[in-house]
Amino acid sequence: MSDTPEITPGEEGAPRESLFEAPVMGEQERMVEAILFASAEPVTVKELNDRMPHGCDAAEALAHLRKRYEGRGVHVVRVGDAWAIRTAPDLGFLMQRETVETRKLSRAAIETLAIIAYHQPVTRAEIEEIRGVSVSRGTVDQLLEMEWIRFGRRRMTPGRPVTFVVTQEFLDHFGLESARDLPGLADLRAAGLLESRPSPLGAPQTGEGDVDADEGMDEGQSELFED
């Protein structure tokens, strides 16, 4: 038996339409609708295209579908580079039964999360610099476990520290289309509160002093707005 199974996406089961003619847009919209309804997690346009018959344009079908659900009880929402159907927030009061009691986050965890979201990608040292206290392992672990943060690229500074960024789950949970839509982001940037400001010599180094903590901060911000 071969140990490297060759996985080829099957074409079987595709509608009996022609292989070369894509289904009409109305049909494509139905397909996107069915796929998004069936999934609890956001689905990327690429995944949609992969699952739909050859020649479909999921992005266009999505745009139609999104329009169709405007003002309805459920909405088509964007989550990073993926899409999902979610109930309209104004109907939350109907859903008490569905509410899952989530673990209460500690104040430290909430602050750390906010710092990662607004400053991403951010190193542990930078988080500590901002909070003025060292970040406990448990806090980061909890956020990682909740899949609200993940490791980003390593910072290209001595020691190559890891960075943290927020995830699609984070965006999904807080109903954000992208990290750019974080509340008050523009104001914070305008006030210069997201930029790095090297601490003058002699200021007490909070957290575990990572000399390079401030470096690369701008790179981080630019990465955030790249996508």
| Residue among 45, 74, 146, 188 that touches its own copies (CB under 8 A) | 74
Both structure tokens of 184: 């008050």
Residue 95 contacts another protein per CB under 8 A: yes
DSSP 191: T
Strand partners, 78: 83
Residue 14 contacts another protein per CB under 8 A: no
Radius of gyration of the chain (CA): 22
Closest contact distance (angstroms) between CB of 190 and its own copies is 29
Which of another protein, its own copies, none has residue 137 at its interface (CB below 5 to 8 Å by kind)?
Answer: none
Span of 6-14, 180-188, 196-204, 208-216 interacting with its own copies by CB under 8 A = 6-14
- How many residues bind another protein (CB under 8 A)? The answer is 71
- CA quadruple 210, 215, 217, 222: dihedral positive or negative? negative
Closest contact distance (angstroms) between CB of 92 and another protein is 4
For residues 81 to 100, the per-residue mask of contacts with its own copies, x marking binding by CB under 8 A and - elsewhere, is ----x-xx-xx-xxxxxxxx
Q: How far apart are CA 221 and CA 117, in angstroms?
A: 11
Please tell me whether residue 167 adopts helix, strand or coil conformation.
coil
